[in-house]
Amino acid sequence: MGRHKLRKRIALEAARLIHTRREGDVFRAKMKSARQFYKGEIKPFDLPKNSEVYKQLKILVSAHEGRFLAEYIQQVRKESLRIMKVLRKFHPRLVGSVLTGQIRAETIIEIRVFSDITTAVVEALDTAGVSCEIKFKGARSCDSASLPKVVFFQDSFPFELTIYPLAMAQEVATSPGTGRTIDQADTDQLDKLIDEYCSPTPLGEAALGSEKILDYFRIFESLLLPLETVKENIELHPEGDLLYHSLQTFDLARERLPYDEEFLLAALMHDVGKAIDPADHISAGLDAIGMYITPRVAWLIEHHVEAAAIRDGTLGARSRRRLEANESFGELMLLAECDNKARAVGVATSDVSDALEYIRGLSDL
């Protein structure tokens, strides 16, 4: 067997050990795997890189999830269709991740409707007996003259209705940022899409949610544990290893925003790439977890080093303005504050399982 194929076999077997929870540490998983193929001394250059193991782990998780995800997509689209039928006279259009199928455990159903009277949309929902609490973005009143054009409500899933003037119903939808045409589906098109979609054997809702979340958190755990062996400059990080630093960051973040799941996940996972590629830890970390996190979590992790530069006064004005334009800029700076403070020696912290269980609880909610 050639060296390349052998490394791939070791990486795949190590990924299996992690995925089945028989091993939580990547290095130990690689060593156990290598012993199945090597009879003599195992040297470091005989082992695959951590990134190779994570690549195989993502493939395993994706395959395991596929049948659950397909049914979940069907379920969310059916709920979208139910609400769209209630709002049929307002020419509803489904857009976003639910239409494309690129959805995660955190799902917001985005629907565009067209009406010159915002309250008419709300009244249609109320008349149909849709059980929900309406929240108007940026307004407290139900006066149609003062309402913004975005309405949020919680039913079986969170919904975001964007209300456009009736005259725009026949116009082609384009992105204001790129000018590109936005994919959208009306009621009949979504009904046809649901009928044509190839769905596996239905599973219970509880089983679906637990399997998806469980697999995501296995990935997170397998990326966090190797940080215990990563040391940094003791003058900058007197606390010791990066896992201890990450757990301190999480605990500090939880004290500030205990119910912001995305912020807490970013705080816990912001340095996981340093066990994969210390030279470019942000890209390495996002590559490892990008398919399992929301865009907001990814943005916070991607820019946490720049936020530290803002605190130090070393980031340019143009770059700062670009970050300030994002609605999560406040949380980004709070992450930088927690990251900077998470350098205490000898303080008690959560352990990995406690931190992940806390975030898992927010996901369940």
HSE-CB of 363 using CA atoms within 13 angstroms: 24
Residue 345 gets which letter from DSSP? S
- The runs of H, that is alpha helices, within the chain are 3-19, 26-35, 50-86, 97-100, 118-127, 187-196, 205-224, 242-256, 261-269, 281-289, 295-302, 304-312, 317-324, 329-341, 352-364
Looking at residue 9, what is its pLDDT?
78
* Structural domains of the chain sorted by starting position, each given as residue range(s) with its CATH number in brackets: 3-48 (no CATH), 69-196 (3.30.460.10), 205-364 (1.10.3210.10)
Q: Please calculate the CA angle 251-257-261 and round it to the nearest 5 degrees.
A: 85
User: pLDDT per position in the chain (365 positions), as tens?
Assistant: 456 667 877 888 888 788 766 777 788 888 888 887 776 777 777 788 888 888 777 776 665 555 566 777 888 899 999 999 999 999 999 988 888 776 655 578 999 999 888 888 888 888 888 766 666 655 444 444 444 478 888 777 888 888 888 888 888 877 665 667 788 999 999 988 888 764 443 333 333 344 444 457 878 888 898 888 888 878 777 888 899 999 999 999 999 999 899 999 999 999 999 888 888 899 989 988 887 888 899 999 999 999 999 998 999 999 999 999 999 999 999 999 999 999 988 899 998 988 998 898 886 65
Q: Please calculate the CA angle 279-281-287 and round it to the nearest 5 degrees.
A: 125
Looking at residue 86, what is its pLDDT?
92
The pair phi, psi for residue 164, each rounded to 5°, is: -110, 160
Looking at residue 12, what is its pLDDT?
82
d(CA 71, CA 215): 16
d(CA 37, CA 24): 21
The CA-atom distances, in angstroms, between 341 and each of 82, 131, 174, 240, 331 are: 48, 44, 44, 14, 15
Cβ proximity of 30 and 45 under 8 Å: no
Looking at residue 122, what is its pLDDT?
85
Looking at residue 302, what is its pLDDT?
94
The CA-atom distances, in angstroms, between 230 and each of 140, 190, 200, 227, 270 are: 50, 49, 43, 5, 14
d(CA 155, CA 80): 10
Looking at residue 202, what is its pLDDT?
34
Amino acid at position 126, single letter: D
Residue whose C-alpha is closest to residue 169's, from 95, 120, 115? 115
d(CA 266, CA 285): 11
> Which residues share a beta bridge with 112?
93, 162
Looking at residue 234, what is its pLDDT?
81
d(CA 95, CA 85): 15
Neighbouring CB atoms inside 10 A of 272's CB total 28
Neighbouring CB atoms inside 10 A of 17's CB total 21
Token pair for residue 321? 């303005």
Token pair for residue 58? 């993502």
Looking at residue 255, what is its pLDDT?
94
The pair phi, psi for residue 255, each rounded to 5°, is: -65, -30
Amino acid at position 253, single letter: A
